[in-house]
Amino acid sequence: QKEVEQDPGPLSVPEGAIVSLNCTYSNSAFQYFMWYRQYSRKGPELLMYTYSSGNKEDGRFTAQVDKSSKYISLFIRDSQPSDSATYLCAMSAGSGGYQKVTFGTGTKLQVIP
């Protein structure tokens, strides 16, 4: 079993839809959770960063962490064609700069105009 599981998709939605992206994990030591967006042939770009359980909102993006279920989500409201990309969840046990980060495989999202 992988430490982080993420459905690779692809996920196709119409413009304006609410998108839900999810990851599950098995390592209970993970406390820091991140979502990255990666366009084709580019490096990942940090979207959201959360610590422990709870919700965090930033514009059209909302990140949720449920540590009891080992489940994290990213919601995108009013999705736009420019949101079409691969979304990677990532997590680490600590916040130190040396901490190893474990990534999901990424979910490819396509928003259709």
74 binds other proteins (CB under 8 A): no
Stretch binding other proteins (CB under 8 A), from 12-20, 38-46, 57-65, 68-76: 38-46
The tokens of 38 are what? 């990666």
Q: Any contact of residue 113 with other proteins (CB under 8 A)?
A: no
Q: Residue 75 corresponds to which amino acid? A: F
Q: Kindly tell me which residue out of 18, 42, 77, 80 binds other proteins, with binding defined by CB under 8 A.
A: 42
Query: Minimum distance between the CB of residue 45 and other proteins, rounded to whole angstroms?
Result: 7
Size of the site for other proteins (CB under 8 A): 24
Q: Near other proteins by CB under 8 A, which window of 12-20, 55-63, 69-77, 102-110?
A: 102-110
| C-alpha separations of 53 from 10, 24, 31, 32, 48 in Å | 27, 13, 8, 9, 14
The smaller minimum CB distance to other proteins, of residues 64 and 106, is found at 106
Q: CA separation (Å) from 49 to 17, 57, 59, 87, 112?
A: 23, 10, 14, 13, 27
Tokens in use for 76?
């995108």
Q: Backbone phi, then psi, for 58, in 5-degree steps?
A: -150, 100
- Chain residues binding other proteins by CB under 8 A are 6, 8, 34, 36, 41-46, 49, 88, 90, 95-101, 103-106
